[in-house]
Every structure is written in C-alpha cells, then in structure tokens.
Amino acid sequence: MTLHHGRAPLNWAQKTIKRLLDFCLALLGLVALSPVFAIIAIAMKLQGNGPVFFRQVRIGYKGRPFVIFKFRTMSSVVEEEGPRLVAQCDSTTSTPLEQLLRNHHLDELPQLWNVVRGDMSFVGPRPERKYFIDKIMEHTDRYPLIYQVRPGLTSEATIYNGYTDTMEKMLRRMEMDIHYMQHWSLWMDFSIVVKTVLKIISGKTF
C-alpha cells in the first residue's frame, strides 16, 4: 500500500538525513537533560508510588513491535479491566507530580532513548498498541500506510488533536499523520518541534 499519487513518503536520502539528525539531536538532548531526568527520577522515588519508568509494547516502523519508555504517570491497576484509549490521569490514579508530567507531556522525555535506538523519530505518527490498531482497522484499511515512517515523539496530530480519547480522534489523527507523510520536509519537522516546545514552555496542555 502506498500513499496517494503513488509517492513514497520519504526517499532514501531524506530518510538518511532525518535519521542522522534524530540520532545526533536525541543524544545531545539526553546529555543536556540528564539533570532534569535525575531530578524527576529522584522526586518519583521519594514519593514512593511505584517504579520511575513505564514500558509498553507499541507498533512502529514497518509494523515491528518495540518497547516505548515513559516516566510512569499512573497506577498499574488503571487498565485491570482492559486497555483504554487514554487512561485518566487524575487524583484518583496519580500523584500531583505524575499529573504535572502527564499534562505537559514531560512523561515522554525518556523516548529520546527510543530515538537514539532507532525505534522512533522526533517527528512522526505517534505509535499505537496493536489492540487499538486492530480497532482502527475495523473502520479503515489505511492505517498500515503509517508503517512507512518511524513513529515520532510529536506530530501535528499531537499538537492539534490532543490525546486520542475517542475512536473519532484516532481516525482523525491517522489522517493527519498520512497528510504529514505526503507533505514531509525538514522545515515541517522543525516547525512541529518548535511548536511543541513552545507549548510545553508556555505551560499549555495539549
């Protein structure tokens, strides 16, 4: 399955440039933000509410599963009755620190390691669990188009569509991700990263 107009999302040279930039910037980010990681990890340990990191299997580039890393922001009992589109992060399931991390997407910072490893890119479709991909595939057969690029830390859909807490939002996110792939450029990636950082710095939730 290919994108509309028979055009591959990125050619070999573009993929190489994007990957090199991802690796170098993610490695630099891990080093520069290491004090922030340490402060968050210590604070989470001191609150004694569970492990620092959350791990979950997602589906990524070429449909391959990988383990995504986050700072843990809610109790492990939240999904005892089954997977949720977005598990509610509030005072009933999370501490104030965990809510802060989740509301401002700071829980995503450990995914810089996923970028270094090559599991992810800075910008690209957000990776989903197979359980929900199967649900999406009940509505459309277009989702596998997303497997043609690495999933990302952020995306246009992340900024403008927010957390996908309904199937309608998941389908809208998929279409936005396909649009991104059809119109990809380094400038677009740069613009999305800047918009994401500015939203985080401004304290806006999204």
Domain ranges of the chain: 10-200
1 — pLDDT class (breaks 50, 70, 90):
low
pLDDT on residue 115: 98
> Hunting for tokens 């986050």 — which residue is that?
70
Model-wide pTM > 0.75: yes
86 — pLDDT class (breaks 50, 70, 90):
low
pLDDT on residue 32: 96
| pLDDT more than 90, % of the chain | 57
Mean pLDDT score, 45-52: 85
The first and second tokens of residue 10, run together, are 């990125």
Q: How far apart are CA 60 and CA 121, in angstroms?
A: 10
Mean pLDDT score, 58-76: 90
Q: Which of 17-21, 79-83, 183-187 has the highest mean pLDDT?
A: 17-21
CA distances 100 to 64, 91, 107, Å, are: 31, 11, 9
pLDDT on residue 3: 57
Mean pLDDT score, 34-44: 94
pLDDT in tens, 139-153: 999 999 999 999 999
Own/partner pairs for 81-84, CB < 8 Å, 24+ apart?
83/129, 83/131, 83/132
Mean pLDDT score, 124-138: 95
